[in-house]
């Protein structure tokens, strides 16, 4: 029975529901370009691959694609709109904070592996008040690669000084599960996020919420301590 040394989490759709803030920021940019606003459901279907891809998907779904020459200015506008918003603790999924604190109390390291850029990620975590619960935070710009490339989650594991066989990735999308699989790291999919049909992603376990996480880890054969 391997001892669990670290848990690595996705952010959006896993620990926090930030689709509302993303929608507001994206719609601000779209409006400036004379585009129609997107619904919350639209945004949830587009997230998971970082803000640049989200921006391109938003433009493509509301008219002509975003021209390459206009990308940098549009990204600056999006980051400005997003970073002026203050994240709320209401974004946290039920039991997320308690779960993170509980595993830290068991001397289990906590990592974050998100396709959101690092600085917006850190601001969101600071706004909510949970940045101090993470031992290492990796955005899409922390390493040369990002999910679904396994190098992203492996980079977090190395930063946590944890062998792949002693950590678990928790996420809500194919990017999360595929990155973990490529890294040789066990994975757990959460059903409360933005991913559809999470039972088909190939995760080693599926949970409906964080109240089920400890039990799922035990069933996977990990020693999670007392």
24 in helix, strand or coil?
helix
10 has catalytic annotation: yes
pLDDT in tens, 51-81: 889 999 999 999 999 988 999 999 999 989 8
Cα–Cα dist 171/173, whole Å: 6
Residue for token pair 């691959």: 49
Beta strands in the chain (DSSP E): 6-9, 109-113, 136-138, 167-171, 186-190, 205-207
What are residue 136's DSSP bridge partners? 111
Q: What is the dihedral of CA 54, 111, 92, 59, to 10 degrees?
A: 0
Domain residue spans of the chain: 6-17+90-219, 19-83
pLDDT in tens, 150-169: 999 999 999 999 999 999 99
* pLDDT reported for residue 50: 80
Catalytically annotated residue among 10, 12, 17, 135: 10
16 in helix, strand or coil?
strand
pLDDT band at residue 21 under the 50/70/90 scheme: confident
Q: Helix, strand, coil proportions of the chain in percent (round to 5)?
A: 50, 15, 40
* pLDDT reported for residue 73: 94
pLDDT in tens, 176-204: 999 999 999 999 999 998 877 899 999 99
Q: Do domains 6-17+90-219 and 19-83 have the same CATH topology?
A: no
Instruction: Summarize the confidence of residues 128-150 as an average pLDDT.
Output: 97
pTM: 0.89
Of all residues in the chain, the percent with pLDDT exceeding 90 is: 82
Cα–Cα dist 2/100, whole Å: 20
pLDDT in tens, 73-127: 999 999 898 888 888 899 999 999 999 999 999 999 999 999 999 998 999 999 9
Give the CA distances from residue 144 to residues 29, 150, 152, 171, 222, in Å, rounded to whole numbers and listed in that order.
27, 11, 8, 21, 31
* pLDDT reported for residue 206: 97
What are residue 192's DSSP bridge partners? none
Mean pLDDT of the chain: 94
Closest CA to 17 of 111, 97, 87, 66: 87
Cα–Cα dist 75/110, whole Å: 30
Cα–Cα dist 50/121, whole Å: 11
pLDDT band at residue 45 under the 50/70/90 scheme: confident
For residue 154 the two structure tokens come to 């492996």
For residue 203 the two structure tokens come to 């995760």
Domain 6-17+90-219 -> CATH class: alpha beta
Residue 226 has pLDDT above 80, yes or no: no
* pLDDT reported for residue 173: 92
Angle subtended at Cα 18 by Cα 38 and Cα 92, rounded to the nearest 5 degrees? 150
Domain 19-83 has CATH 1.10.150: yes
Beta strands in 27-135 (DSSP E): 109-113
DSSP 133: G
Residue 221 has pLDDT above 90, yes or no: yes
* pLDDT reported for residue 60: 95
Cα–Cα dist 93/11, whole Å: 11
């Amino acid at each position: 029975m391997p001892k669990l040394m670290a848990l690595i989490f996705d952010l959006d759709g896993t620990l926090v529901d930030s689709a509302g803030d993303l929608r507001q920021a994206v719609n601000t940019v779209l409006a400036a370009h004379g585009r129609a606003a997107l619904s919350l459901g639209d945004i949830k279907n587009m997230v998971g691959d970082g803000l640049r891809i989200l921006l391109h998907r938003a433009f493509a779904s509301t008219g002509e694609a975003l021209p390459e020459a206009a990308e940098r200015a549009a990204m600056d506008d999006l980051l400005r709109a997003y970073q002026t918003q203050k994240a709320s603790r209401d974004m946290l999924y039920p039991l997320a904070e308690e779960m993170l604190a509980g595993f830290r109390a068991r001397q289990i390291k906590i990592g974050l592996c998100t396709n959101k850029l690092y600085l917006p990620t850190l601001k969101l975590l600071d706004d909510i008040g949970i940045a101090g619960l993470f031992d290492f935070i990796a955005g899409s710009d922390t390493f040369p690669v990002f999910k679904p490339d396994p190098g992203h989650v492996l980079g977090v594991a190395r930063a946590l000084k944890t062998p792949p066989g002693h950590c678990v990735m928790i996420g809500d999308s194919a990017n999360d599960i595929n990155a973990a699989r490529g890294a040789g790291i066990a994975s757990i999919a959460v059903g409360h996020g933005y991913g559809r049909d999470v039972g088909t992603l190939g995760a080693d376990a599926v949970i409906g919420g964080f109240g089920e996480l400890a039990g799922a880890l035990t069933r996977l054969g990990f020693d999670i301590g007392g």
